[in-house]
């Protein structure tokens, strides 16, 4: 008999186009008996919690529906499509079990977008196979996961009753909290880094000189794009593309991201009411991170060992949320006993990047709040079918709250989604990343541009002050989790243990003195100065750079405060003006301990940062 073991569990994640919309292309198997079939009556953006349809006939609460048309007459589908469960119906409005992942037009290819009922079966046949799986990224090497299963608030209430006898009379359910974490993630790349900070833009070291552009605007979350231009017909399955340009941008690399071509349509069609040659309709290996305006530049990238990619993580006011998928197999690896849970709408609220001597660069997602979850446990035997049940009359025999249809993320799905069999590379979705960790011994830290060699450890903390919000509104059956999670004030802090330089270093040498390391007592002076160097307005503070280098064109740089474009390793100069200050030391106790050489433990705060990663991975989530 099999048992569930922690070493046969796996966590993967993906970014969401809108909070709570777990991205996955699913077709489903159409119901054939008294099934509902209708069309959208209006367009709906990613993140929609309800949709309005032309007719609600034959649909009931508990039914599963596919939103989006699948064109069986074409070689490949041309629009995003997904499966959701109807939680309740108001007239012709369907309230869904979780927000949508994609934008859905009211009409597509000249016809209204379909909404059809599908069977509530939970296996691979309901999806697109590997071509529809996007929740496949791993944060790094991890050993434990604090899963964000709902924490229930069931409270006993006392009625005035002679039968109470000091005990509560009845128990009622309260709000639910879904909070998880992943600790001590050994970073193999920068996939996990951006989510507590903001967005990532990716630019290749070289692109093909060609004439290709978007012939229709694309939305964040889109999997299909439409391209045109004299070189568009040269594109092929397996090619990598750089897509850039957004409202207010010039197509010069702004909002740049890299995606791979999975399929190319071979038929004439219409997309978004724009007539195009069907061979220019491209399906990508991962949803877009940005909106891109019409005529945005598209360039082919000859991905090879000689091409490197620069990924720049910049702060944004609104953070992208994540989907987590936890997949467990029993020890016999019988797929009938797979235990799958998917958590949606997760905001990385607090996080820590750290390293210590002799160790590796690690990251922790310390607190991640989610708005909901779905799972693959369809039934519970003690729950009967009753006309009072919210799901009474639904075609699927599934009575468990939060049961949802989703694809299994197997071991061979882990990594960057590829789904293109014509090109093979080490990161094509066939397994875990094969890169080495970043070691503390490969790291350096600079204050005011001057390397400070004797850093023993550091921990950089990020807090987004996130707050789950509970509003009046229709949610899933027995789902009383947060309606949304909003960002609060952002705070950065850093602690470090520093062995002081040699006393022979010039005592008056300042941070950044040419050719010199800072004086042995400079940290003491900085503590007393409090970042105030005699300017007339505000405190100024100082700068720092942390770099972890694995080899040529293979490194992570953290600049504090953020650097200007193209100048990783050179933080923006601090000033005594608002919103332009640097690092300030709160504590730097020069205590007499048993540490030799003399050691100082620093605690610092700062207002901004920027992370630059250079590696050979083209696609970042």
pLDDT value of residue 477:
67
Q: Tell me: pLDDT of 249 over 70.
A: no
The domain boundary residue, chosen from 118, 145, 172: 118
Q: Is residue 75 part of a domain?
A: yes
Number of domain units in the chain: 2
Looking up residue 276, the CATH number of its domain turns out to be: 2.40.30
Mean pLDDT, rounded, for 276-283: 67
Q: What angle do CA 83, 85, 89 make, to 5 degrees?
A: 130
Of 603, 473, 613, give the one whose Cα is nearest residue 546.
613
Q: Is residue 471 part of a domain?
A: no
Calculate what percentage of the chain has a pLDDT beyond 70. 84
Q: Is residue 421 part of a domain?
A: no
- β-strands 154-157, 170-173: how paired? antiparallel
Which is it for the CA torsion 41, 43, 45, 46, positive or negative?
positive
CA–CA distances in Å: residue 440 to residues 186, 292, 450, 454, 547: 12, 39, 18, 12, 10
Q: pLDDT tier at 433 (50, 70, 90 boundaries)? A: confident
**Contact status, residue 582 vs residue 540, Cβ threshold 8 Å:** yes
Phi-psi category of residue 449: left, alpha or beta, with phi > 0 → left and psi -120 to 50 → alpha: left
How much is the CA Rg of the chain, to the nearest whole Å?
27
**Contact status, residue 96 vs residue 84, Cβ threshold 8 Å:** yes
- The gap between the terminal CA atoms of the chain, to the nearest Å, is 38
Mean pLDDT, rounded, for 307-326: 95
The domain boundary residue, chosen from 89, 118, 147: 118
User: Phi then psi for 200, rounded to 5 degrees?
Assistant: -125, 130
CA 126 to chain CA centroid, nearest Å: 24
Mean pLDDT, rounded, for 554-571: 83
- Domain, as residue range, for 82: 30-118
User: Phi then psi for 166, rounded to 5 degrees?
Assistant: 75, -5
Q: Is residue 465 part of a domain?
A: no
Phi-psi category of residue 478: left, alpha or beta, with phi > 0 → left and psi -120 to 50 → alpha: left
Q: Give the model confidence (pLDDT) of 590-612 as tens digits.
A: 888 887 878 889 999 999 999 99
Q: pLDDT tier at 355 (50, 70, 90 boundaries)? A: very high
Mean pLDDT, rounded, for 244-270: 68
CA 459 to chain CA centroid, nearest Å: 22
Q: Tell me: pLDDT of 31 over 90.
A: no
C-alpha to C-alpha distance for 443 and 436, rounded to whole angstroms: 14
Q: Tell me: pLDDT of 2 over 60.
A: yes
C-alpha to C-alpha distance for 389 and 398, rounded to whole angstroms: 12
CA–CA distances in Å: residue 316 to residues 195, 288, 313, 560: 10, 17, 9, 16
Whether omega for the bond prior to residue 22 falls within 30 degrees of 0, making it cis, is no
pLDDT value of residue 565:
65
Q: Give the model confidence (pLDDT) of 90-130 as tens digits.
A: 999 999 999 999 999 988 766 789 999 998 765 445 656 67
Higher-confidence position of 199 and 126: 199
The domain boundary residue, chosen from 64, 85, 118: 118
Q: Give the model confidence (pLDDT) of 577-588 as tens digits.
A: 888 888 999 999
Higher-confidence position of 363 and 27: 363
Higher-confidence position of 247 and 63: 63
- Residue identified by tokens 């891109």 is 292
SS3 annotation, 53-93: ECCCCCCCCCCEEEECCCCCCCCCCCCCCEEEEEEEEECCE
Mean pLDDT, rounded, for 171-199: 93
pLDDT value of residue 268:
47
Q: Tell me: pLDDT of 423 over 70.
A: no
Q: Is residue 603 part of a domain?
A: no
Q: Is residue 129 part of a domain?
A: no
Q: Is residue 606 part of a domain?
A: no
Q: Is residue 615 part of a domain?
A: no
């Amino acid at each position: 008999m099999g048992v569930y073991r922690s070493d046969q569990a796996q966590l993967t994640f993906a970014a969401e186009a809108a909070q709570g919309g777990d991205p996955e292309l699913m077709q489903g198997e159409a119901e054939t008996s008294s099934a509902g079939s209708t069309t959208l009556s209006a367009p709906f953006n990613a993140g929609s919690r309800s949709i309005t349809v032309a007719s609600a006939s034959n649909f009931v609460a508990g039914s599963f529906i596919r939103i989006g048309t699948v064109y069986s007459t074409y070689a490949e589908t041309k629009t995003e499509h997904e499966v959701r469960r109807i939680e309740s119906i108001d007239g012709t409005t369907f309230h869904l079990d979780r927000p949508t992942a994609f934008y859905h037009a009211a009409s597509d290819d000249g016809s209204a977008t379909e909404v059809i009922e599908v069977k509530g079966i939970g296996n691979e046949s309901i999806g697109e196979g590997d071509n529809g799986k996007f929740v496949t990224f791993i944060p790094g090497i991890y050993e434990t996961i604090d899963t964000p299963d709902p924490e229930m608030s069931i409270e006993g209430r006392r009625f005035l009753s002679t039968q109470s006898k000091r005990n509560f009379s009845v128990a009622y359910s309260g709000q639910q909290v879904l909070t998880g974490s992943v600790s001590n993630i050994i970073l193999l790349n920068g996939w996990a880094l951006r989510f507590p900070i903001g967005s990532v833009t990716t630019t290749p070291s070289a692109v093909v000189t060609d004439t290709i552009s978007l012939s229709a605007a694309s939305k964040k979350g889109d999997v299909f794009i439409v391209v045109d231009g004299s070189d568009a017909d040269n594109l092929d399955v397996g090619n990598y593309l750089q897509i850039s340009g957004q409202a207010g941008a010039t197509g010069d690399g702004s909002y740049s991201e890299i995606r791979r071509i999975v399929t190319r349509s071979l038929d004439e069609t219409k997309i978004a009411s724009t007539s195009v040659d069907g061979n220019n309709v491209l399906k990508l290996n991962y949803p877009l991170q940005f909106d891109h305006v019409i005529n945005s530049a598209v360039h082919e990238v000859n991905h090879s060992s000689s091409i490197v990619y620069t990924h720049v993580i910049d702060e944004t006011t609104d953070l992208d949320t994540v989907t987590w998928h936890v997949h467990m197999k029993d020890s016999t690896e019988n797929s009938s006993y797979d235990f799958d849970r998917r958590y949606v709408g997760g905001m990385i609220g607090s996080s820590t990047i750290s390293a210590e001597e002799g160790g590796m660069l690690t990251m922790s997602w310390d607190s991640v709040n989610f708005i909901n979850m779905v799972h693959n446990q369809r039934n519970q035997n003690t729950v009967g079918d009753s006309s009072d049940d919210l799901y009474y009359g639904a075609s699927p025999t599934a009575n468990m709250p939060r049961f949802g249809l989703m694809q299994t993320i197997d071991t061979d799905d882990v990594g960057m989604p590829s789904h293109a069999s014509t090109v093979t590379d080490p990161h094509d979705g066939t397994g875990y990343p094969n890169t080495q960790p970043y070691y503390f011994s490969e790291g350096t830290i600079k204050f005011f541009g001057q390397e400070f060699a004797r850093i023993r450890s550091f921990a950089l903390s990020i807090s987004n002050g996130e707050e789950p919000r509970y509003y009046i509104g229709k949610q899933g059956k027995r789902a009383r989790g947060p309606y949304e999670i909003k960002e609060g004030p952002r705070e950065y802090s850093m602690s470090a243990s520093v062995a002081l330089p040699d006393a022979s270093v010039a005592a008056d040498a300042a941070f950044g003195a040419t050719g010199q390391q800072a004086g042995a007592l400079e940290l003491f002076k900085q503590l007393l100065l409090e970042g105030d160097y005699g300017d007339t307005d505000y405190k100024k503070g100082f700068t720092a750079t942390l770099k972890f280098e694995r080899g040529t064109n293979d490194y992570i740089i953290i600049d504090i405060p953020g650097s200007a474009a193209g100048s990783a390793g050179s933080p923006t100069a601090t000033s005594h003006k608002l919103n332009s200050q640097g690092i300030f030391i709160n504590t730097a106790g020069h205590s007499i301990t048993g540490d030799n050489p003399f050691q100082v433990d620093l605690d610092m705060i700062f207002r901004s940062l920027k992370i630059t990663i250079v590696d050979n991975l083209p696609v970042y989530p």
